[in-house]
Amino acid sequence: MTRILGIETSCDESATAFVENGRRVLCNLIATQFDVHAKYGGVVPELASRAHVEKLDLLVREALQQAALSPGEIDAIAVTRGPGLIGSLLIGVTAAKTLAWAWNKPLIGVNHIHAHATSAAIDIEHDPWPAIALVVSGGHTSLYHVVSPLDVRLLGGTIDDAAGEAFDKVSTILNLGFPGGPVVDRRAKTGNPKAVNLPRTRLNRAELDFSFSGIKTAVLYHVHGAGKTSGGLERLTDSMIDDICASFSAAVVDVLVEKTMLAVEQTRAKCVVVGGGVAANSLLRERLTQACQTHRPAAISLHLTPMKYCTDNAAMIAALGYHAYQAGRRDTIGLTAVANVSKL
Ligand code: KG4
Ligand code: ZN
């Protein structure tokens, strides 16, 4: 029995978890900072770091209590090393290093996006690997070929905005609040997806890369008038806003599904897994289910990660940390936080 403590603080969720043998979740705690950032329309890095400092100690104690474990029963401590907000990452990494030193436990730094890509394996009987992993959140939009948890190969990623970020920005343009994904998703259900003609950016040169800033700008100009960035919102009725939400969601989802299935063709993978907050999107779930079921010559199996492991969480960090631990990987007390994904 191997038990790993996971710590996650890469953005605006402070989280701790205990996972047994990389699969069985003993506890999974998250303190959201929703109230701290909502009034600013986005995450304020300094406030996020401060909130992590306030919450983390309590979350570690609470995790020990809920899992009914003492420090002596823990095998290792896994922590998100990056990518993310540097100030936020530093809090988690410093806490993990301190606990590893105080409890004399091995320390393992984990790549946050690889943890999202492999989170589909948590709580299920059989590993879905090899699989295509679509990771779609407020910070990332990437396609991976996950050969195994420690062999995660990047196939493509966004060259500008992440899909969730585009949802959030469109919500801000329409004055629907933050975070924007859930409300835009809800309003899209009663709108007409063909009402507004929005571009699908396919980036032919790098087939599996994404770009969402063009769609977002097209919504901006549609609302305010060509080339303008303000005014015009008042003339929109509720049903026109529903139509914009539906047309925008359809444009983003078209590209996400198309590229995911292209990755399936290129790698001949038999399974698709989806992680990250945007995996909650109802149209994305519906369209991916349809695309995988109707795939020829054979259907592709689809695993939509449960929402509690889709949004930022520490169970996915502990689960991936377990595989690194089993493979003998150990970090030293000199472990550093790394904000930029290309430097990890
Ligand atoms: O994974 P997550 O909790 O945090 C990170 O960004 O890492 O994802 C949050 C993102 C936000 O941008 C939010 O607007 C988006 O996921 N989101 C959605 C939906 N629910 C959350 N986007 C589209 N449709 C949704 N139903
Ligand atoms: Zn994330």
Using one digit for the tens of pLDDT, what is the confidence trace for 123-161?
998 899 999 999 999 888 999 999 999 999 999 999 999
Residues 281 and 164 in one domain: yes
Q: What is the 3-state secondary structure (H, E, C) of 39-96?
A: CCCCCCHHHHHHHHHHHHHHHHHHHHHHHCCCHHHCCEEEEEEECCCHHHHHHHHHHH
Percent of the chain with pLDDT over 90: 83
Q: Quick one: tokens of 141?
A: 């939009």
Residues 154 and 275 in one domain: yes
Residues 178 and 289 in one domain: yes
Is the shortest distance between the CB of 292 and ligand 1 below 6 Å? no
Residues 218 and 175 in one domain: yes
Q: Where are the alpha helices (DSSP H) in the chain?
A: 34-38, 45-67, 86-103, 112-118, 163-173, 180-188, 213-224, 238-267, 282-293, 307-310, 315-326
Q: Which ligand is nearest to the CA of 252?
A: 1
Closest residue by Cα to residue 157 from 243, 81, 259, 240? 259
Kindly give the parts of the chain with pLDDT less than 50. Answer: none
Cα separation of the two ends of the chain:
30
Domain containing 188 equals: 127-305
Residue 206: the pLDDT is 63
Contact 119, 146 (CB under 8 A): no
Residues 301 and 324 in one domain: no
Q: Quick one: tokens of 32?
A: 């959201």
Q: Which ligand is nearest to the CA of 111?
A: 2
Residues 279 and 172 in one domain: yes
**pTM, to two decimals:** 0.92
Contact 92, 78 (CB under 8 A): no
Is the shortest distance between the CB of 83 and ligand 1 below 6 Å? no
Residue 225: the pLDDT is 85
Is the shortest distance between the CB of 84 and ligand 1 below 6 Å? no
Using one digit for the tens of pLDDT, what is the confidence trace for 12-49?
899 999 999 999 999 999 998 877 787 777 788 888 89
Q: Quick one: tokens of 38?
A: 């909502």
Residues 301 and 201 in one domain: yes
Report the C-alpha gap between 276 and 137 in whole angstroms: 5
Residues 144 and 281 in one domain: yes
Query: What total of structural domains would you count in the chain?
Result: 2
Which domain CATH number covers 196?
A: 3.30.420.40
Is the shortest distance between the CB of 20 and ligand 1 below 6 Å? no
Residues 224 and 291 in one domain: yes
Residue 242: the pLDDT is 98
- The ligand 1 atom at the shortest distance from the C-alpha of residue 112 is 7
Report helix, strand or coil for 213: helix
Q: How many angstroms separate the alpha carbon of residue 137 from the centre of ligand 1?
A: 5
Q: How many angstroms separate the alpha carbon of residue 141 from the centre of ligand 1?
A: 11
Contact 277, 134 (CB under 8 A): no
Residue 91: the pLDDT is 97
Residue 98: the pLDDT is 98
Residue minimizing CA distance to atom 26 of ligand 1? 281
Report the C-alpha gap between 343 and 194 in whole angstroms: 41
Residues 92 and 187 in one domain: no
Is the shortest distance between the CB of 280 and ligand 1 below 6 Å? yes
CB-based contacts of 318, cutoff 8 Å, min separation 6: 4, 5, 6, 17, 18, 19, 22, 78
Residues 69 and 140 in one domain: no
CB-based contacts of 304, cutoff 8 Å, min separation 6: 273, 274, 279, 285, 288
Report the C-alpha gap between 10 and 221 in whole angstroms: 33
Is the shortest distance between the CB of 164 and ligand 1 below 6 Å? yes
Residues 162 and 68 in one domain: no
Residue 56: the pLDDT is 97
Amino acid letter, residue 286 = E
